[in-house]
Amino acid sequence: MNIELINTGTELLLGSTLNTHQQWIGQQLAALGLELARQVAVPDTADAIQDAVRDAMGRADFILTTGGLGPTSDDVTREKIAELLGLRLCREARIEAGIQRFFEERRRSMPAQVLIQAQVPEGAQVLENAHGTAPGLAIPLPPKPGSTLKAPRLLVMLPGPPRELRPMFTQHVLPLLRQLAPSQDQYARRILRTTGVGESVIAEKIEPALRDGLQAGLEIGYCAHTGAVDVRLIARGPQAHAILAQAETTVREFMGEAIYGENDDRLEAQVVQLLTAARQTVALAESCTGGFITHRLTNIPGASAVVLAGAVTYSNTSKTIFAHVDPAILQSFGAVSPETATAMAEGIRRALQADYGIGVTGIAGPSGGTEQKPVGTVYIALAQADGTKVHSSINRYERESFKAITSQQALDLIRRALLASRPRP
């Protein structure tokens, strides 16, 4: 089924409003096994809206428009689409009464022009708006030649404000889509989340082994985030679930512990979960990450049972006071060194009597680098009962990405240590 989205709003093109509808609607559809075939944002002008709808009607089975259903002069979506489709607009008394009630309940006087929202193109289904005065509208469209849809194709208009659009989408649009869409057992999707390996390396590893699945119609996609790559597997048709299960087994076999979760799982959540399961604790001394690793861990419910402390030991003095780093180490090796990272991890672990200690030190830049230790140099130490290991890398990014990548590496270091220490089944 070809679904197209038309977002109206000059503010979207001026960049003053971020088009969150596109992302949110895309996510809702994906969860149903559906995908947007195309999305376009157009200004609030008659020509732009009509051109976009005319264009989409040549291809789409389901057209969704957002915005422009309100009462002001720049809200022209309803009127211009009705005009394009040659449909008369009729005032609906039931909607008018609802709008009047909306104002009465809020003890506000009603400007006459808001009643324009009670105009309905003939033949349209009215979709109730529980959070505003502009109802949505669903208009059946003439069939496309050769269409195999289960019901007439549709054009649905929803209002712009997200707090109105989202519940209306869930309540009204999803059931309409279900009527049209092929059944769910013909579609299977899984996202496997990885860290520590680049996307081209992943592709090189898994694609030869997935050849059979690819021939059977398996789709593979890669989505690189900061310090992580999602591998997306999609299968369609009567064998969808079997093809997907086989592909997932293969990817897991090749990627092993680089996979930290599925779908919306977060790396920090897995660390908290593994610590909780092992009844173990962590304490952190963070320099160049400024507390970001602790921030990520403490975003996870249940972190208080396993995260004992996170000290931002930015200066040498603070490394000595809070992480008990011997000043001689700082003097001999420098604040950014494997030795200092080790001393930070071991010191904070000892001070808090934690099972794991993490120490992070590096040069975020843009200045402060040397030939031996260029900007981006980072040392992450993980201390535990049987010793300390140090990860080093050069994360040459601007400061926020530097923190994000470094935090990802630190979380991955402890995650892998926790996995390795799990009792074998």
3-state SS assignment for residue 191: strand
According to DSSP H, which parts of 110-224 are helical?
Answer: 162-168, 174-180, 199-206, 211-215
Our finding on whether 12 is near ligand ATP (CB under 6 A) is yes
**Residue 256 host element (H or E):** none
Q: How far is the CB of 6 from ligand ATP (least distance, A)?
A: 10
For residues 133 and 102, the answer to whether their CB atoms sit within 8 Å is yes
For residues 170 and 78, the answer to whether their CB atoms sit within 8 Å is no
Using DSSP bridges, classify how beta strands 356-362 and 377-384 pair: parallel, antiparallel or unpaired: antiparallel
Our finding on whether 17 is near ligand ATP (CB under 6 A) is yes
Q: How many residues bind ligand ATP (CB under 6 A)?
A: 20
Residue with tokens 């995908």: 35
Residues 234-253 that bind ligand ATP (CB under 6 A): none
Residues 124-143 that bind ligand ATP (CB under 6 A): 134
Our finding on whether 121 is near ligand ATP (CB under 6 A) is no
Question: What token pair was written down for 115?
Answer: 């009643």
Query: Between residues 64 and 358, which has the closer beta carbon with respect to ligand ATP?
Result: 64
Q: How far is the CB of 45 from ligand ATP (least distance, A)?
A: 13
Q: How far is the CB of 72 from ligand ATP (least distance, A)?
A: 6
Q: Which of 3, 4, 6, 9 binds ligand ATP (CB under 6 A)?
A: 9
3-state SS assignment for residue 412: helix
For residues 212 and 244, the answer to whether their CB atoms sit within 8 Å is no
Our finding on whether 65 is near ligand ATP (CB under 6 A) is no
3-state SS assignment for residue 70: coil
Per CB under 6 A, the segment of 156-164, 295-303, 384-392, 417-425 that binds ligand ATP is 156-164
CA pair distance 13, 5, nearest whole angstrom: 15
Query: Between residues 98 and 162, which has the closer beta carbon with respect to ligand ATP?
Result: 162
C-alpha distances out from residue 148 to 1, 61, 181, 239, Å: 9, 10, 10, 20
Q: How far is the CB of 214 from ligand ATP (least distance, A)?
A: 35
Per CB under 6 A, the segment of 15-23, 26-34, 277-285, 291-299 that binds ligand ATP is 15-23
Our finding on whether 68 is near ligand ATP (CB under 6 A) is yes
Our finding on whether 160 is near ligand ATP (CB under 6 A) is yes
Our finding on whether 69 is near ligand ATP (CB under 6 A) is yes
CA pair distance 29, 25, nearest whole angstrom: 6
Q: Which residues bind ligand ATP (CB under 6 A)?
A: 7, 9, 11-12, 17, 19-21, 66-70, 72, 75, 134, 159-162
